[in-house]
Amino acid sequence: MDWLCTTYPDEYDEHGACIRVGDEFPAECGACHSQTCAEAPYVYVAPDPANLVWLDEFDTDGLPDANKKWGYDVGIGPGNDRWGNQELQYYTNADMDNAYVLAGTLKVRAVREDYEGMEYTSARLVTRNHGD
């Protein structure tokens, strides 16, 4: 929650960050330690369009690349270096098990499965060369 508040101070106050974390991790959240999230509605404050460089509203369910704003880093990194920090997952290309848009939000998840010698799969989405 602190990260959301400090990284996006114009978009998230403590209550908004609590809602966001609870939406993403409903079974494990515990961030609020109270009923605060349920008691008061959260109002999203959109970024100032004058400073907006890139945006995806995630308004189409399915693969994140459906609108061509996303790309994928695939595999275990250049030179098989596991992306420089010994990551345990193999990043897939356009796999709905690992990355999808549903109800206006992007979902990225790791799946425990043996794949290409790794114990997990996930998605590593990038915006590089897609509207920047």
Q: Rounded to whole angstroms, how far apart are CA atoms 14 and 116?
A: 41
- Rounded to two decimals, what is the model's pTM? 0.58
CA distances from 51 to 5, 35, 103, 128 (A): 19, 35, 26, 19
Parse the chain into domains and list their residue ranges: 2-49, 64-126
Q: Any alpha helices (H) in the chain, and if so which ranges?
A: 2-7, 14-24, 36-39
Q: What is the pLDDT of residue 67?
A: 56
> How large is the average pLDDT for residues 102-119?
93
Query: How confident is the model over 51-108, as pLDDT tens digits?
Result: 777 778 888 888 986 557 888 899 999 888 888 888 899 999 989 999 999 988 999 9
